[in-house]
A and B are shown apart, each in its own frame.
Chain A
Amino acid sequence: MESHTEEVSRKSKILQALEDQNTSVSFDDPLENTMILNMGPQHPATHGVLRLLIQLDGETVIGCVPELGYLHRGYEKLAENSTYHEFIPHTDRLDYLSPMSNNTAYAIAVEKLIGIEAPPRAQYIRVMISELARISSHLMFLGSIAMDVGALTVWMWSFREREKLYDIFENIAGARFTTSYTRIGGVAQDVTPETMAMVQKFIEEFPANLEECEKLLNKNRIFVERTDGIGVLSRDEAMGLGVTGPCLRACGVSHDLRRANPYLVYKDLDFDVPVYEGGDALARYYVRMAEMKESEKILLQVLEQIPTGEVHAFKPKKVLPRKERIYTKMEELIHDFMIVNFGVEPPVGEIYSAVEAPKGELGFYLYSHGEGYPWRLKIRSPSFVNLQSLPTMLKGCMISDVVAIIGSLDPVMGEADK
């Protein structure tokens, strides 16, 4: 008691001394202050090298500025200096979680520019690899969003499934990660019956394994409460910001390029386009879970319907000939030499071709001057455009929701930074 009164008198003495010196004292209220928090570029929850500058009022986010470019490799400049074939391996490195979709998107774009079409078997193979890539990409999303909100088991389980997919890719293309599988006018090589059996086995086992993961999350109170109503994007905002893919379908817009502008053989396949109305992180999770099941349906139909035949279009001056024919036929040797050295030389013109990649609309704009090199190649990457909606979604949320929102957006920086 005594020490307390001593303390008070000491304080009042200090205040008295300050007042005597004619000074004014002011105290900052910590809640009235805004604070700038730098998140990334090296941060486990930013899925790569995304840097965010977040303005905080206490724990509430009042503003956010994303900074991109930490993974910028200048692919568009490289494309202008390489032939159409030489650019295929670079497309693997765009969205490195689904390289097969990028390969397919690029091959379709160049084929449209040249004016050729891949044979039916190659088209079915492309649908198959695109859907496998979609499942692989969405599984990555599932694992990472669960880990971002604190459920580590799902991460392990989804990676167990992705491991099987990588084994399939290894069998199809010879590489697990950077596949470079498609060629202009077809695919690198035919798929073997062994690979088909692997895909069949994967589809049979997959629903039960996915359900296991769903059981851990769908009624998990922590997961639902950390994603429900978080990062809401309205329908008009999403359309104005150009958001595509699962993020747009979670806002109640039924838009899927596979259905709206069917490419490959999607018009012959039966599948649904899942749409949710919420526009929040939970809706984006539900859309992706439903999409995986639709992909599985598509894969089943592909396995049933896939025709036999060539996997290369027969266009000698546009499509690389087969190795065995190069070694035995003079004509093919000449064509191979010309295509490798001077490129496929499409006519003068420009096209824009887009496919529904796992993250959204992946488009290629090509401008040809009639040479073997594209005069201009523009990559319209879904992650880049979707990331632009981040400041809108983060506004007003809590600092701990930032990781959940980035996770639900599922950006890949390789693609956003090009």
Chain B
Amino acid sequence: MRLWRRTSLNRCRLLQVSVNQKVIEQLKSRFGESNIEANEFRDELTVVVPKEIIVDVCRFLKDDSTLKFDLLADLCGIDMYTPAKRFGVIYNLYSLTSHHRIRLKTFVEEENPKLPTVSTVWATANWHERETYDMFGIIFEGHPDLRRMYLPDEFEHHPLRKDFPLMGIPGSLPLPKK
């Protein structure tokens, strides 16, 4: 029972690229040409959308019967360290039916790092968003329980920001009281 052979690798790749095209077309017809910015690298599709429509895009990708991206594989933040688009939030989606991956990306400003939560779409986003808040200080509006995931609640900084030093800030982590 050999399901996959080496010769079929090229065909798989073509399939991947055609699914990417289909996703871009569907998103553009639904949310407008100007809202969708797509690029591909190593056959992986990255779609950049404005933060206002991120929940709608996620819900559409999850519920649409032809796309069905039903698994949120990963959600993480990124610090671009540029004034206009300081922080990014990245959603890696996976479809259990078509076994296809795409990536959504949205940016928030430095002064107002807020965007709506997607924990209403996928329950798994709950902890991922808590981790992103912990590491970058990005606030997910409407999140049921936005606490720090790893670091103690008294800690004031967000360590994965690029302006946080690798060796930490002395005295920033208070020792337990005697």
Binding site for B on A (CB under 8 A): 68-69, 72, 74, 76-78, 80-81, 112-113, 115, 237, 239-242, 244, 253, 255, 259-262, 266-268, 270, 349-352, 354, 361, 363, 365, 367, 375-376, 378, 380, 384-385, 388, 417-418
Task: From B17-25, B29-37, B106-114, B120-128, give the one contacting chain A.
Answer: B120-128
B61 close to A (CB within 8 Å): no
Can you name 27 A-B residue pairings with CB atoms under 8 Å? A69-B151, A77-B159, A77-B166, A240-B123, A242-B71, A242-B72, A242-B73, A242-B124, A244-B71, A260-B99, A261-B101, A267-B2, A267-B5, A267-B8, A267-B9, A350-B103, A351-B42, A352-B74, A354-B73, A363-B74, A363-B92, A367-B78, A375-B78, A376-B76, A378-B90, A385-B124, A388-B123
Q: Which residues of A contact B3 (CB under 8 A)?
A: 259, 267
Contact of A267 among B6, B70, B71, B152 (CB under 8 A): B6
What size tier do the contact residues of chain B reach? 35 or more
A69–B42 CB distance below 8 A:
no
Q: A241, A268, A367: which contacts B6 (Cβ < 8 A)?
A: A268
Are A352 and B5 touching (Cβ within 8 A)?
no
A279 to B102, CA, bound (A): 28
Contact A255 B96 (CB under 8 A): yes
Q: A81-B166, A260-B99 are in contact. Are A270 and B74 (CB under 8 A)?
A: no
Q: Are A240 and B159 in contact (CB under 8 A)?
A: no
User: What residues of B have a CB within 8 angstroms of the CB of A237 in the complex?
Assistant: 123
- A129 to B124 Cα, complex, angstroms: 30
Would you call B49 an interface residue if the criterion is a C-beta within 8 Å of the partner chain's C-beta atoms? Answer: no
A270 to B5, CA, bound (A): 11
Contacts of B71 in A (CB 8 A): 239, 242, 244
Cβ contact within 8 Å between A270 and B73: no
In whole angstroms, how far apart are the Cα atoms of A69 and B42 in the complex?
Answer: 34
A residues in contact with B44, CB < 8 Å: 350-352
Residue-wise, chain B 114-141 has the 8 Å CB interface mask toward A (1 for contact) of 0000000011101100000001000000
Taking CB atoms and an 8 Å cut-off, the chain B residues in 136-178 that contact chain A are: 148-152, 159-160, 164, 166
How far is it, in angstroms, between the C-alpha of A68 and the C-alpha of B128 when the chains are bound? 13
- Verify B150–A417 contact, CB threshold 8 A: yes
* Bound: A240/B72 CA distance, A: 8
Bound: A80/B135 CA distance, A: 14
In contact, B99 and A261 (Cβ under 8 angstroms)? yes
The answer to whether B46 touches A76, judged by C-beta atoms less than 8 angstroms apart, is no
Enumerate the 5 nearest inter-chain pairs by beta-carbon distance, A residue then B residue, closest first.
A267-B4, A242-B124, A69-B150, A349-B41, A72-B150
Question: Which A residues are in CB contact (< 8 Å) with B2?
Answer: 267-268, 270
Q: Are A378's CB and B74's CB within 8 A? A: yes
In the bound complex, how far is the Cα of B1 from the Cα of A349, in angstroms? 37
Tell me whether A77 and B41 are in contact (CB under 8 A).
no
B63 to chain A, nearest CB (A): 13
CB distance from B55 to the nearest CB of A (A): 16
Q: Does A365 lie within 8 Å of B74, measured CB to CB? A: yes
Q: Report how far A388 CA is from B42 CA in the complex, Å.
A: 31
List the A side residues contacting B8 at CB < 8 Å. 267
Q: Which residues of B contact A68 (CB under 8 A)?
A: 149-150
Q: Take A72-B151, A268-B2, A385-B127 as given contacts and tell me if A239 and B70 are in contact as well, using a CB distance cutoff of 8 Å.
A: yes
Chain B residues whose CB sits within 8 angstroms of the CB of A80 once the complex forms: 160
CB distance from A259 to the nearest CB of B (A): 7
Name the distance in Å between B86's Cβ and chain A's nearest Cβ. Answer: 13
Are A350 and B127 in contact (CB-based, < 8 A)? no
Contacts of B9 in A (CB 8 A): 267
- Which of B46, B79, B135 contacts A350, CB < 8 Å? B46
Are B5 and A268 in contact, with the CB atoms below 8 A?
A: yes
CB of A322, distance to nearest CB on chain B (Å): 28
B residues 53-96 with Cβ under 8 Å of A? 70-74, 76, 78-79, 90, 92, 96
**Shortest distance between the CB of A110 and any CB in chain B (Å):** 12
Q: Which residues of B contact A350 (CB under 8 A)?
A: 41, 44, 46, 103
CA A253 – CA B74 in complex, angstroms? 19
- Is the CB–CB distance between B73 and A380 below 8 Å? yes
Contacts of B74 in A (CB 8 A): 352, 363, 365, 378, 380
The answer on a CB contact under 8 Å between A242 and B1 is no
Contact check, A352 vs B99: say whether CB atoms are below 8 A apart.
no
Contacts of A241 in B (CB 8 A): 123-124
A240 touches B122 (CB 8 A): yes
Which residue of B1, B124, B127, B135 is within 8 Å of A240 (Cβ)?
A: B124
* Nearest-neighbor residue (CB-CB) of B95 within chain A: A260
CA A384 – CA B61 in complex, angstroms?
A: 24
Q: CA–CA, A361 to B73, complex, Å?
A: 8
Contacts of A380 in B (CB 8 A): 73-74, 92
Question: CA–CA, A383 to B96, complex, Å?
Answer: 19
- Do B42 and A115 have beta carbons less than 8 Å apart? yes
Report yes or no: B6 in contact with A352, Cβ–Cβ below 8 A: no
- Beyond contacts A241-B124, A351-B42: 11 other A-B pairs, Cβ-Cβ < 8 A, are A68-B149, A72-B150, A77-B164, A115-B42, A242-B73, A259-B3, A266-B4, A350-B44, A352-B101, A352-B103, A388-B123
Contact for B1 among A81, A270, A352, CB less than 8 A: A270
CA distance A113 to B41 in the complex (A): 9
CB-defined contacts of A262 to chain B, threshold 8 Å: 4
- The CA-CA distance from A349 to B126 in the complex, in Å, is 27
Q: How far is the CB of A265 from chain B (nearest CB, A)?
A: 9
Bound: A270/B42 CA distance, A: 28
